[in-house]
Structure 1
Amino acid sequence: MLTNHQAVVLVTGASSGIGRACAIHLARQGNLIYGTTRRNPDQVAADLRQSLETSHQLEVVVMDVDDDESVARTVDAVVKRAGRLDAVVNCAGFGIAGAVEETSDGEARAIFETNLLGILRVCRAAIPVMREQGRGKILNISSIGGVIGLPFQGFYSATKFALEGLTEALRMEIRGFGIRAVLIEPGDFCTGFTDSRHVAAASASSDVYRKAQEHVLAIVEKDERGGSSPEAIAQLVARILRKRSPRVRYTVGPVAQKLAAALKRVLPSKWFEWALSMYYGVKR
C-alpha cells in the first residue's frame, strides 16, 4: 500500500548508468519507482532487483523517449497504477564523439531527438498531471558539457546547452503551479556511458582530425573511467526531491570540474578557452 510519505518517481534510462543508480537509491529509501528502458525489461528488472531487498518497490516499464505515444502511454499507466506522479528524473540519453564538421545531419538529429526532444516529451506528459496535483518535481540530467563546450563532443554539448536553456525557461513557466524544474550537471563519473558513446561515421574513417580527436578522447575516457560511482548523483537527486524549493542547477563531480563550471561563468572567455585547450592539448 502506497503511503503519503513515499514519492512516486519515474526514472528514465534506468537500465544503466545514472538512471540505474537513481532508481536503486530512491527505491531503497522507500519510494515507489518506475524505471524505464527501451528494451529487455525482464533483464533490466532482474538486474535492478539484485541490488534491492524484495520489500522495495520498483517496477520496470518499457518506454522509448523518442516516441510520443510510448511516453504518453507510460506516464498514463504510471498515474493509473500509483494514483499520482510526484517526480520525474530524466536520465535517458547518449553521447557522440566526432568533429563538428564530420558529424552528419542524421547523427546530429538522432542525438537531439533523444537528449533534448526525448526529455521534452516526458515533460509534456508529466506536467499536466503535476499541475492538477498542484505539485511535482522535474529533474533533468544535464552535464558539465552543458556549461562547457567539449571539443570532439560538440553535438553532445549542444544538446545539453539546449537542455539548460529549456529547463531555465520551463522552471519559470511552471513554478506558479507548484512544479519545480531542476538541472543536474554531472562531471565525469564511471558509468557505461564511456563504452556506449557513439562515434561519428565520418570521423572514424577520416584523417583530418584523427590525431587531435584520439588525443582528446583518450583524456576524456581516462577521466570518466577514473571517476566516482554515479551513486553520488543518486544521493544528490534524493536530497533535491526532499527540498521544498530547490535551486535551478546543481553541479556534481570532481572538485576541479565543479570549479571549471563556476569559472566559465566569470572568467573572460579567452582565458577560459586557453585553459581548456591546454588541458586537452588542442592547438590554438
Structure 2
Amino acid sequence: MGQSNSTPKNSSPPPTPPPPPAGTAVSSLDGLRNASQWVLSSTNKALGVLGGAIVSVAKPVVASIPVPGRKGSSLPPAPPPSLSSQMVTWIRKNAGKTLLGTLLLGVAVVAGSIAYKSGKAYHRELKKLRVVRGADGSKREVIVITNGASIEGMVLALDLDNRGFIVFVCVPDSSRADEILSWKRADIHPVIVPDLSNETLTGSIESLDVEAWRSCMDANVTGTIQAIQQFLPLLKRTLSLRRPRRSPRLILVTSTITGNIGLPYQSATCASQHAILSIADSLRREVQHWGIDVVCLKKGIFTTGGSRSDKSNKTVDNKPEQPGLACWRVSPLEMLKSMFKQPSTSEALCEATFDVVIATRPETSRAVGFGSLAYSFVGWIAPNRVLDWSIRRTSMARHSSLAINTTAAETF
C-alpha cells in the first residue's frame, strides 16, 4: 500500500502550540513554523474583545432609537393602507369575481332602467284617466292657449287634445286658423285675436325704437294682463261645480334664459319676461284665497324639427294616436336607447302642463326643458362679473365669425 497525503475525514487539525514565553528567542525551525499561528490567535482574541465592547456600547443606543409601532416609542404608528390601495389589491387577487360582479351590475342597471321606463309609461296612462269625461266618454274639460301663434303653442294644443281636453287656440290671423283647421281635430278650435304678436325684438337699448318697446310690452305684458282679467271671472264661476274636483288654474309660460338673465340686444324681451314672473307671483297671492291656482312654467331652449304638426298629429286608421299607448309597443332595445336621450323642451313642456292641470295641489313654479335648470341656477347665483365676462367672450367670438364670413363673401 502506498502512502496517501490526504487528511482523514474525521481527523481534527493539530493543536496550536502555545506561544513561547516572553523574552524567549525563537531559534528553532518549529518556532518559525508556528509564529503565524500565534499572531493569528492573538489577533482573533483582540478582535473578539473589541466586538464585545462595541456591542455592549451600541445595544442601549439602538434600543433608544424610536421605531414606529414599538411600545413606548414617541413616533406614531405607520398608517394603514388606503381604501383605494386595498381595493386595487383585492381586485388583483379576485379578477374573476370582479368581472362577474361588473357584468351583473351592468345587467341590473339595464333591467332597472327598462323597468323604470315601463313604470313611467304605465303611470302616464293612469294619469290620463284623471281627465274628467262625460258618461258617454265625451270630453268635458276645457283649456285655452292664448299664445297659439308660437310653435310650442301648436305642439301643446295637439298634445292636450290627445290627452282628452277641449282646446281653444288663440291665433293672430285667418291663415293660422286655417292651418289649425287643416289638422281635422274636432276638439281643437282656433280663435282669431287681432294684434297677437309673437315677434322677438332685438337691438340695443340706444337704437331700439320706443314704439318697438311699447309693442313688445303690449304683446307680452299687457296682453297677459288682459287675458287674466277676462278669464278670472270665468274661473270664479267654476268654483261652484262639483266636478272636476280640481281648482281652476292659470298657467303662465315664460323663458328661463330671458326671464333670469338680462341679455344684450334683447332688453325688451328680457324686461317683458321679468315682468311676467312678477305678475305670476303677485297674482298667485291675490287669488289663492279664492281657491284659484297660478303656476309659472319656465321653459328652456325650444328646438324643433319639421312642421308644427308632423310630430304630434300621427294617425292610425284615420284615428288620432294617443302618445301614451305607443310606449307599450316599443321593444326593450328602443327603451334602452331612450334612457340616454333627454326629452326636448316641447315634450317636457307638454308633460309639465298636463301634470299641472291634473294635479290636486300643483307647484307654484317649475323649470322645464333643455337648459332650464342651468339658466335658473346661473341667473340666481352666478356673480354679475362672471356673467358679463362669459357674454363678452361669446359676443367677441360671434363678431369675429361674422367678420370672417363677411370678408370671405367680399373676396368671392
TM over 0.5: yes
Aligned mates of 1:169, 1:126 — CA distance in 2: 16
CA distance in 2, matches of 1:276, 1:7: 45
CA displacement at 1:39 relative to structure 2: 1.0
Letter of the aligned partner of 1:272 in structure 2? Answer: L
1:9 to 143, 151, 168: 143
- Which residue does 1:277 correspond to in 2? 392
**Aligned mates of 1:251, 1:280 — CA distance in 2:** 26
- RCO higher in structure (CA 8 A, sep ≥6): 1
SS at match of 2:261: coil
- Superposition deviation, residue 261 in structure 1: 1.5
Partner of 2:188: 58
Contact 2:262–2:270 (Cα < 8 Å) also in 1: yes
> Aligned with 1:97: secondary structure?
coil
Give ranges in structure 2 of 5+ residues lacking alignment.
Answer: 1-131, 240-246, 306-342, 400-412
User: Of residues 289, 311, 314 in structure 2, which corresponds to 1:176?
Assistant: 289
| Counterpart mapping for 1:204-243 below 5 A | 228=344, 230-243=346-359
Partners in 2 of 1:64 and 1:95 — Cα distance? 18
Distance 2:157 2:395 in 1: 34
* 1:72-114 deviation digits (Å, cap 9, x = unpaired): xxxxxxxxxxxxxxxxxxxx74311111111111000001111
Partner of 1:107: 212
C-alpha distance 42-248 of structure 1, shift in aligned 2 (>3 A): closer
Q: Which has the larger radius of gyration?
A: 2
Q: Distance in 2 between matches of 1:64 and 1:129?
A: 22
**Could you report, residue by residue, the CA deviation over 1:125-149 in whole angstroms, capped at 9, with x for unpaired residues?**
1011112322311111111211111
Task: Output the CA distance in 1 between the equivalents of 2:344 and 2:207.
Answer: 32
Q: 1:136 aligns with which of 248, 255, 276?
A: 248
Describe the superposition over 1:27-65 as per-residue Cα deviations: whole angstroms up to 9, x where unpaired. 11110111111211541323443xxxx5x5111111236
Distance, in Å, in 2 between the alignment partners of 1:228 and 1:26 is 17
* Other structure's SS at 1:246 match: coil
In structure 2, C-alpha distance between the alignment counterparts of 1:95 and 1:17, rounded to whole Å = 13
Deviation of 1:150 after TM superposition, in Å, equals 1.6
- Structure 1 range deviating more: 163-172 or 9-18: 9-18
Equivalent pair of 1:94/1:115 in contact (CA under 8 Å)? no
Out of 156, 163, 175, the position equivalent to 1:22 is 156
Q: Is the 8 A contact 2:177 2:191 kept in 1?
A: no
- Name the structure 2 match of 1:45: 180
TM-score, structure 1 normalization: 0.69
One-letter code aligned to 1:137:
R
Tell whether the 8 Å contact from 1:20 to 1:48 is kept in structure 2 after alignment: no
Checking the alignment, whether the CA contact within 8 Å between 2:205 and 2:265 is kept in structure 1 is: yes
Q: CA RMSD in A?
A: 2.7
Count of residue correspondences: 218
Task: Write the distance in 2 (CA, Å) between the matches of 1:65 and 1:129.
Answer: 23
Counterpart of 2:128 in structure 1 is: none
Give yes or no for contact 1:182–1:249 (8 Å, CA) kept in 2: yes
Q: CA deviation at 1:245?
A: 2.2
What secondary structure sits across from 2:381 in the alignment?
coil
